Structure 1
Amino acid sequence: MPPDSSRWFDVHQSGTRSVSLFSIPHAGGSGYPYTAWRRRLPESVTVFGVRLPGRGPRITESPYRRMEPLASALCDAMTEKLDGPFVMFGHSMGALIAFEVCSRLQQRGFSASHLIVSGAHPPHRPRGEKQLHLLPRNEFLQAIKNYRGIAAEIFEEEELVSMFVPILRADFELVETYPVRSHPPVACPITAFGGEQDHAVNADWLQEWSRYTSSSFRRQMFPGGHFFISTHEKEVLSAVNDMTEGIPAK
């Protein structure tokens, strides 16, 4: 086990842990947005915000550009933390990572209690008409703006733009090179979250996540666009809470 595995997680615990919630961010994101989740979830839930290389306290590390090495490294780090029931949550890019990691952990003998995939097409569906990570800088920036997940004023600060563009390119490369094909199902239930006004994710395709579980499946829609998990955080966390409540402690 790598001695530095703890740097993968921003841990938020306020009570005795019975369920662990591993939350994986979207492209360009970090584990920090999940800090607020701690205040709205039961004390029995410990939130592990996943810190990906290239951002936050890991800013000096190179971001991953392929799913295989990232998923393998994250699995190694997670196995040290798995001492009871766990739920995996991922939004957009994070949803694909969460699915891949969930599948790999299952092969290692660790089965999640629930997998929540948010704002993402299933693996067999294409992620877009263009390979965004290959676009020229200005076109790439415009494509990022269209997602409306980054404050507009940040694009006016050249120093900030120069910092996050390489990270975003790497993240989009990871997503856009993930094989577009069907993958074996996981054994845990899957819930797919979607935004009713999310033009980046086809709502009907969300239903097709059902083929990736041998257990139960549910699709749940929320108001808002691609970043509905932020604009309608209260409703999203209420749904997450409902899923964690019924999980028996170890």
Structure 2
Amino acid sequence: MTWLRCAVRRPAADTRLFCFTHAGGSATAYREWHGLLPATVELHATQLPGRADRFSEPPPESIEALADVLTETMLPLLDRRFALFGHSMGATVAYEVTRRLEARGLAPARLFVSGSPAPHEPRDTRALSTYDDDALVAELNKLGGTEVEILAHHAMREIVLPYVRADFRLLEAYRYRPGPPLRTPISVVVSDADPVVTPEQAKAWEARTVSEFSLRVFPGDHFYLQPHRAAVVGEVVRSLTG
């Protein structure tokens, strides 16, 4: 199965936008973005193993291994200008992919990171992956998102929670490896009531680039992307075309 999904092919597009999903997410997290993007931007969203139509496949072993395979998968698609967008866990993965691309001399036009602390900053030290079902669902409820409605059904928990736990294990095992800052501009997008990262904490991403840095704050919780989808996509488009 392919690691990247493109629901709307745009052969004439001059830019490709690669979107990386949050823990427990799939490519469908970005399915509404296509209609909000101009014809000049073609979107490719990550589809990780262990979920949706890749349910029977084993989950990734680490963030580093995941970044390695995604980098290789993206290479044939980098024949034009490109940018990366990652939310929550996806922000960390997108950052690690950007490091690998820059090492190959392939710098994105911009890296967009959303709802995530900077990779070199302290993170939540709780091992959420070890929580029992009720405790894990309670933590997910605090974050919000569409998965909360699904997890109200116990039968669905048996399907969804294993890959949610697998993703949390990736984050819990991730350790930032010191290295030079990116040459790629970084745009941070966060919400004002996110329990994962505050706007003040998100400013630490500026240390990860020697290029342009911007920070945009939206109202909402960790999944502010849903109610403010059009505005977030608009911010991405403005950054790419401005």
1:8 aligns with 2:8: no
Deviation sequence 1:52-104 (CA, Å, 0-9, x none):
11122212111114112111111110111110110000000000000000001
What is the match of residue 104 of structure 1? 100
What is the match of residue 238 of structure 1? 234
> SS at the partner of 1:48?
strand
1:169 to 158, 165, 170: 165
Q: State the alpha-carbon separation in 1 of the partners of residues 176 and 70 from structure 2.
A: 21
Using structure 2 for the length normalisation, give the TM-score. 0.94
Which amino acid letter does the alignment assign opposite residue 111 of structure 1? A
Q: State the alpha-carbon separation in 2 of the partners of residues 208 and 54 from structure 1.
A: 32
What is the match of residue 216 of structure 1? 212
Q: Structure 1 residue 197: deviation in Å?
A: 1.5
- The more displaced of 201-210 and 53-62 is 53-62
> SS at the partner of 1:90?
strand
- The more displaced of 28-37 and 162-171 is 28-37
Alignment of 1:108-187 (within 5 A): 108-180=104-176, 182-187=178-183
Q: State the alpha-carbon separation in 1 of the partners of residues 59 and 229 from structure 2.
A: 27
The structure-2 alpha-carbon separation of the partners of 1:212 and 1:127, relative to structure 1 and needing over 3 Å to count, comes to: same
Q: Structure 1 residue 181: deviation in Å?
A: 6.0
- C-alpha contact (below 8 Å) 1:13/1:45 kept by paired residues: no
How many residue pairs get aligned? The number is 241
The structure-2 alpha-carbon separation of the partners of 1:202 and 1:65, relative to structure 1 and needing over 3 Å to count, comes to: farther
Q: Structure 1 residue 150: deviation in Å?
A: 3.2
1:82 aligns with 2:78: yes
- C-alpha contact (below 8 Å) 1:115/1:191 kept by paired residues: yes
Using structure 1 for the length normalisation, give the TM-score. 0.91
- C-alpha contact (below 8 Å) 2:121/2:204 kept by paired residues: no
What is the match of residue 26 of structure 1? 22
- The more displaced of 89-98 and 8-17 is 8-17
1:47 aligns with 2:10: no
What is the match of residue 197 of structure 1? 193
- C-alpha contact (below 8 Å) 2:137/2:148 kept by paired residues: no
Q: State the alpha-carbon separation in 2 of the partners of residues 139 and 189 from structure 1.
A: 38
Q: State the alpha-carbon separation in 2 of the partners of residues 10 and 18 from structure 1.
A: 18
> SS at the partner of 1:228?
coil
Q: State the alpha-carbon separation in 1 of the partners of residues 97 and 206 from structure 2.
A: 17
The structure-2 alpha-carbon separation of the partners of 1:83 and 1:241, relative to structure 1 and needing over 3 Å to count, comes to: same
Q: State the alpha-carbon separation in 2 of the partners of residues 155 and 177 from structure 1.
A: 25
Q: State the alpha-carbon separation in 2 of the partners of residues 206 and 156 from structure 1.
A: 31
Q: Structure 1 residue 244: deviation in Å?
A: 1.9
Deviation sequence 1:98-153 (CA, Å, 0-9, x none):
00000011112211110000000001222214121122332222112211113544
Q: State the alpha-carbon separation in 1 of the partners of residues 26 and 104 from structure 2.
A: 26
Q: State the alpha-carbon separation in 2 of the partners of residues 154 and 113 from structure 1.
A: 36
Return 5+ residue gaps in structure 1 as ranges: none
Deviation sequence 1:146-191 (CA, Å, 0-9, x none):
1111354422322210111110111111111111565431111001
Return 5+ residue gaps in structure 2 as ranges: none
Which amino acid letter does the alignment assign opposite residue 9 of structure 1? L
